[in-house]
Chain A
């Protein structure tokens, strides 16, 4: 069974009198361990799709299932727990709680999961080391570069031990060098941690690092290609 199964997902927003068809009949399976790029022009529906998978938005029709769990059918509290235990999130920018250090930001999710303080600390240190920020762990987000902040967000997403990490334009605020480095890091960790990643991007060079590229246009999948990229 696929990790993620989307069946005929439709999302229509109402904007006054106008109906915006953000997604129109999306069918998609993602297997465990895949490293997937979601690409397409602005307004094609990438964020909408990621939000539906992440349980931050509900589809107008169709079902999204993660290992048999129908995400839209979860109650509010269950959905919260679903995101806490099953998913990791990396957003475009300002991912971190400004009043917490890098280390505390990573610890936060594990503390919310109910892990002991000691275990959270240990895991957080480990993941900050994996993203190369062991020296910066006491710094607040304001004292980190944009690329470093995104790496902390990746560490936070992985430290929680999710099945699936969703990243909506994680490199949009980075220069191409940092963007490439972040993607390489995500790719590497995806393999090491055997974690599935779905990320959206505009950047050609970024999408080149994906193993599978799904292209959206006007809310429809217009291409779905697997590259033979295996490190």
Chain B
């Protein structure tokens, strides 16, 4: 005998769906409990991933917006041994900004030195920025903890030399008992071989930009730096902000091309080495690694939570299939194929999973939205924010809803619950109708 009904599965499917849907509501309390368990699992996963995502975004923001920028350019010798003479010529600054659209640039210079007050002295790291350009690239100059930021001229010294304001890191300030208004003597080895020294006035104390800056950072204007260091031929570092951060790679490519061109027109000296471009991922490898790792952790956490939640589904469907064995026996007797029955049980699980996903996503998203833009406010317990992994965070935990994360959590849940449903569904395949109806 040939199998006549095989060709028409499209006609049977709606009926199987229909029965599956009705079967869910046959034992409403049990189904609601199952849905609650699955939805709660999903809510937890959605919440967790929103928290992780929010933290990562804060981290990336911290890494890029506060002091690093998206991309930095140095010369090889500067990267290798902080060669003071490995600078880019000043004309490069305007030229790069002019030729590459959609970016802002800020030049920086560095040196090490010795800072002294009447009480103590300590080794410091000098960092020089352009007070006009820096704000277009980073928020460094807004990270004031106390005082008022000023990198300009304080007063002329008795000998008529200009005296500049500087800004210092919080830990350094604490160690050297510096407050806004304190005077500071800086001594360094200047570029011309002489001993550079000068008296500076602290205008403000910065929040930690990085652990290093916090401990030994002294921030000054490029003008002040040039006077102290007798180094005005160029800059050490170019920090770049890309307006459209989603298309950083395109900007990087343009920059590389532009630097090549510039190098051909006006070659850099050999000693300083070639120009090297690095993005924030390379500059902050820890954060970059953490981004990658968090995806895996997210997945593992989601997998475990959803697996636990789907135990409820497994139990429900096992009970349902057991209770209905007589009914299934009748259905097989009247000509229901076992694979249709299997499909029916799987559809029931699928519908349960989909309803749970819907409930979970709706509650999860509205719950997250309830916390608003800033996320969970921790300023009550940690007014200064918290520092973690070498970065300093604002005192709130941002929650970020990533549609891809939510979609993957839903897909993961549906797949796991369907896998769990295979066990009860398989029982229908092995059901002996004569046996169950006896």
Contact = CB atoms under 8 A, between A and B. Distances in A.
Partners in one complex: yes
Interface of A: 47, 51, 54, 56-57, 69, 74, 76-78, 80-85, 87-89, 91, 94-100, 104, 107-109, 111-117, 156-157, 160
Given A83-B334, A99-B26, A77 B3 contact: yes
Contacts of A81: 1, 3-5, 335
B326 interface: yes
Given A81-B3, A99-B26, A94 B330 contact: yes
Contacts of B336: 80, 84, 112
Contact of B4 (A85, A89, A95): A85
Contact of B8 (A83, A87, A114): A114
Interface of B: 1-8, 11-12, 14-15, 18-19, 22-23, 26, 326-327, 330-338, 340, 433-434, 437-438
A54 B15 contact: no
A160 B334 CA distance: 10
B333 A54 contact: yes
Contact of B334 (A69, A84, A98): A84
Contacts of A109: 334-335
B203 to A, nearest CB: 78
26 contacts: A47-B438, A74-B1, A77-B3, A78-B2, A78-B3, A80-B335, A80-B338, A82-B335, A83-B334, A83-B335, A85-B335, A94-B327, A94-B330, A95-B330, A96-B330, A97-B331, A98-B26, A104-B18, A107-B15, A109-B334, A111-B11, A112-B15, A113-B4, A113-B5, A156-B334, A160-B334
A35 B339 CA distance: 34
A56 B337 CA distance: 13
Contacts of A83: 333-335
B3 to A, nearest CB: 5
Nearest to B335: A84
Contacts of B326: 94
A25 B26 CA distance: 45
A112 B16 CA distance: 9
Given A80-B337, A98-B26, A69 B1 contact: yes
Contact of B330 (A91, A113, A114): A91
A84 B5 contact: yes
A89 B7 CA distance: 24
Most buried by B among A74, A76, A111: A111
Given A81-B3, A83-B334, 5 more contacts: A81-B5, A84-B336, A91-B330, A99-B26, A112-B5
Contacts of B11: 111, 114-117
A112 B4 CA distance: 10
A91 B437 contact: yes
Nearest to A77: B3
A112 B334 CA distance: 10
Nearest to B20: A99
A56 B336 CA distance: 13
A160 B333 CA distance: 13
